Amino acid sequence: MIATDLVDGPIARRLKQRSDIGAHLDSVADVVLNACLLAGVLILCWDLLRDELLLIGAAVASYGLSLSFGFRKFGRFLAYHTDVAKLTQWLAAFAAVSLILEWSEWPFRVAAISAILGNLEAVAITSVLTIWQTDVSTLFRIWPTR
């Protein structure tokens, strides 16, 4: 699913089939994927992740903050698809493999910190935007225009 995420957006843009509802559905799919990935590694690698609960809680809380802030400001959920969020997807996938194969917890920590930073960037983007929009790759892309 992560690999298809790289393909569907560019194809939609190239064929001029991009839509706000498509961006929203893509965001929902990303959340479901991340939730399943987190639940899976928690179940399979509980012994390795037991000491990481504070970091996991911070990542989940930062997502909740981003989601609620966006919903409060615009009355709808965010669908920014930032560069940091895309990077975090790949880091999370690598972290899951690393945990399952018992290589190291460090990729998980890096992915969680990346998720927190991405969620905080989404809050900052929401603060700067005056109207709801999708596909904001980075705060710096919109910052000069405001």
Six-digit token pair at 109? 């920590």
Angle, to 10 degrees, between the axis of helix 53-74 and the axis of helix 106-128?
20
Give the chain's count of helices (H) and strands (E): 7, 0
Residues 91 and 115: their CA atoms lie apart, in Å, by 9
Query: Along the 146 residues of the chain, how does pLDDT read in single tens digits?
Result: 556 666 666 676 677 666 667 766 777 777 788 888 888 888 998 888 999 999 999 999 999 999 999 999 999 888 888 999 989 989 999 999 999 999 999 999 999 999 999 999 999 999 999 998 888 889 988 876 55
Q: Residue count of the chain, please give it.
A: 146
Closest CA to 47 of 100, 115, 113: 100
**pTM to 2 decimal places:** 0.84
